Amino acid sequence: MERAEQLIQLAGTVEGVVFRNRENGWSVVDISCEGELITAVGEFSELSEGEEVELTGVFVNHPTFGRQFKASLCTTKLPATAGAILKYLASGAIKGIGPVTARRIVDRFGSRTLEVIEKDPDALAQVQGISLKKAEDIHLEYQRVFGIRSLLAFMAQYGFSAAEAIKVWKFWGPQAQELLCENPYRLCLSFIGISFDRADAMAIQLGLSPESGERVQAAAAHVLRHNTQNGHTCLPREKLAAVTASYIGLPPERVDFEIGEMLEREDLVEYTGDERPMIFLPDYYRAEGYIATRLQMLISFMPDNGTQWDRQIAAQEKALGIVYADTQREAIAQALRQGFVVLTGGPGTGKTTTINGMIELFEKDGRKVALCAPTGRAAKRMSAVTGREAKTIHRLLEAGYQKDGTLAFTKNEEDLLDCDVLILDEVSMVDVLLFEALLRAIKLNCKLVLVGDYDQLPSVGAGNLLKDIIDSGFFPVVRLSHIFRQAAQSAIVTSAHEILEGQVPDLAQRDKDFFFLPARDKPSGLALICDLVTTRLPKAYGLSPADIQVLSPGRRGAAGVQQQNRILREAVNPARGQPEIGYMGMSFRQGDKVMQTRNNYDIVTTQEETGEKGTGVFNGDMGQIEEIDRQNGLIHIRYEDKRAAYTPDMLGEIEHAYAVTVHKSQGSEFDAVILSLLEPNPKLYFRNLLYTAVTRAKQLLVIVGSRRSVEMMVENNRKTLRYSGLGSFLRDILG
C-alpha cells in the first residue's frame, strides 16, 4: 500500500504516449523531467506530446516493465510558447489538425494559437487549407477535449478517477459539471454506477443538506439496487423505508414520503402482491411482469395438442436400444405436446437422456432446435452430451455494448431467434433480467423447455426464477427422481440425494469416489488441502493440480477463498523467476489459475484447434495465464479451447481461482473437488449449498473439515429468502 508520506511530485513535458485506453483513460507516457526520460503510468485522459504536466505518486519497480512512476494525480498546463504549441498540435492532440496544418496555424498566430482555436473559429478559417466548416469542427473538438479535462479536474477534487469522469462525460457532455453541482446523487444512476457513499461524500463537500429530497431518494434507490445483489427483485415498502432511514439517519416517515415522490415520477414502481405493497426498480418490475405474461402466452398460444406420442417414443427406444423411465417418457411427451415444460431433477436421474430424446423427436418432426445455457462451461458440457452446438445465452442473443457502454442484445422482438424449440439448461442460474431478454427474442410459436435442478442454489443475480415458476403450480413440471443403476454406483450421486433427504452421508467410506477427511483446526486443514492438491490426489489418482478445484462457502476469513488462494498459489505455482505483473495490490504470475469475474464481449479470442478468431470471455470462465509478454505488454490466458489477450489495465477483470466459492462454481463440473469446511458460518452453512458443492464433482469429492460442519449443513434446510414479484404476477394472470 502507498503511504501519504511516500508521495512525491514530478514536473515535466510529455515526450510520447506509449499506450492509451480511451475507455478508462489508463495510459503509459514518457515524461521529460529535468533531462531524464521517465515512464509514468496512471489515468491520464487525452494527454498529448508537448504538454506540461505535474504528477503526484510514487516510483515502483514493475516486475515486467521495470522502473515506473505510478501517478495517482495528474494536473496539466497548456503549452505556452509557439514551439511547444506546435509540438502539441502536430502530435494529433486535436482531431483535424495534422503536422502541416499545425505549422500553418502556429506560423499565423504564434503563442496566441490555442486562444484563437478556443474563441475565434472565424479567424482560424483564414489559415490556408482550413474552411469555415473545418474551423468550426476544430473549435468544437478543442472544447470537447478541454471540457473533459475540466470535468476530470473537478471530479478529481472529490476522489473520482479519470475512468469515472470519462463515463460521466459520455452521458452528459459539457453539461456534466453543472448537473453534478446541482445534484451529485446523479452519479448513483445505474448507467454511471458510482456508489451512494461516494456521491454522498461529494454532496457534503458541496454543502447539500443531509435532509434533502435528492439525498433521501438516492439512498432509497441505493438500498433497492444493493438488494438486487442479494437476489431480491423488490422490497416491501415498509422494509425499504426502515432500512433506508437507518442507513442515512432520518425518520422512516421522511423516507416514505420521498418514496411516494419517486413513485409519482415512476422512478420506482409499487405493486401490491399478496396484500403487501412491494417496491421495484423499473427494470425489475418490467422484467418479472413480462416473464409472467410471456409464459402465460406460451401455454395459451400452444395448448396441449392432445397428440399421443407413445408410438414415436417407443420406436425411438427400439432404435436406440434403451428403455426410458416413466417420468422420462412423460417429459418427452409433454415437451412435444405443449408450448412450455419444465424438467427438473438431481444428478444421475437421466436429464441428459431425456433432453436427447426430446431433441431427436423434435428434429424428426421437422423442428429446428436451439440449445443454450447461462455459462460457457455449462454450454460446452451441453454440447458434449447432446452432440449439437449449444451457446451461452449472451452469445445466442448476440450481446454487445452500445455507445454509452450499456449491454444490449441484437436478438430481440425486432430480430427474433431462428428456432422452433429452445432448450435452456441450468436455468436455476439465470436471473430475471437475462430471462426476460431471452423470452423477448423467441417467436410466439417457439416451444420452450427449461431444464434445471430445483434444489441447487438460486442465481447469483436477482430473482428466484426456477423456484417461482415451479411453485406457482401453473405449468407442466416433470421431476426426475429415479437414480439409474450406473449413477447409483457413485457415492457422489447417492450422497447428494441423501443430503436432499436430510440424511448425513456416510463419512467413513474410503473405497469410492467420495470421502471425508477431518481437520483439527484451520491451519492443519489448510495444510491438508494443500497436500491433497499438490501431492496426495495427483499421486493416488493421476490427477494434475489443474484438474482439482477447491470450493469454499465464503470468500473472507482465515479459511476463506481469498486466504486459500494465497496459500494454494504458493504451493502450486511458486515464484521460480517466471514473469509476474501487478494490479491494484494483486500479483499475477505466469502459470496462475485464474477466473474471469465479469462478462466481456470485446476480448478477442483465438480457438486452439482452428485458429478461428472470436470475441468474448464470460463471468466464471476459468483459465491459466500462459504467457506474460513483456515486449508487447500483453497477458495471454488459455480458457479451455481458446486463448485471450489482456492488456494490464484489464487485470481487474480476473482473480485467482485455485479456490472459488460454491456460488461461483454453479454451472460447472470438475474432475475432482475438495470442499473446504474449515470455518463454520451459520449464514452460509445450509443444505442446498452443500448439495450444490457436492454435485460439482464428476469423478472425485473430498470434504475437509469437521463432521459437525457437515451435520450442521444437512440439518439447516432453510431456503434463502428472496423477495420477488414473479409468483404474484403469475397468480394475478393465471390464478
Instruction: Output the known binding site for ATP.
Output: 348-352
The C-alpha atoms of residue 228 and residue 226 are separated, in whole angstroms, by: 5
Contact (Cβ atoms closer than 8 angstroms) between residue 479 and residue 349: no
433, three cell numbers: 433480467
Contact (Cβ atoms closer than 8 angstroms) between residue 219 and residue 247: yes
Please report where in the chains the cell 463419512 appears, as a residue: 507
Helix, strand or coil, per DSSP, at residue 306: coil
The C-alpha atoms of residue 433 and residue 599 are separated, in whole angstroms, by: 15
The C-alpha atoms of residue 586 and residue 581 are separated, in whole angstroms, by: 8
The H-or-E segment that residue 168 falls in is: helix 162-172
Chain centroid offset of residue 238 CA: 31
The C-alpha atoms of residue 71 and residue 485 are separated, in whole angstroms, by: 64
The C-alpha atoms of residue 97 and residue 522 are separated, in whole angstroms, by: 64
The H-or-E segment that residue 87 falls in is: helix 82-90
Contact (Cβ atoms closer than 8 angstroms) between residue 258 and residue 217: yes
Output the DSSP codes for 225-279. Answer: HHHHTTT-SEEEHHHHHHHHHHHHT--HHHHHHHHHHHHHTTSSEEEEETTEEEE
Phi, psi of 11, deg, nearest 5: -125, 140
485, three cell numbers: 443403476
Contact (Cβ atoms closer than 8 angstroms) between residue 619 and residue 653: no
Output the DSSP codes for 641-684. Answer: TEEEEE-GGGGGGEEE-SEEEHHHHTT--EEEEEEEE-S--TTT
The H-or-E segment that residue 697 falls in is: strand 697-705
Contact (Cβ atoms closer than 8 angstroms) between residue 186 and residue 176: no
User: Order of strands across the sheet with 390-392?
Assistant: 390-392, 369-373, 421-424, 447-452, 340-345, 477-480
Helix, strand or coil, per DSSP, at residue 686: coil
**CA torsion sign, 72 to 653 to 662 to 456?**
positive
Count Cα neighbours of 271 within 13 Å in the Cβ-side half-sphere. 22
Please report where in the chains the cell 429468502 appears, as a residue: 721
Cβ-in-10-Å burial (0-12, 13-18, 19+) of 200 comes to: buried
Tell which residue, 49, 48, 72, has the closest CA to residue 59. Answer: 72
Q: Provide the annotated binding site.
A: 348-352
Amino acid at 84: A
Q: What are the DSSP E strand ranges found in 144-243?
A: 234-236
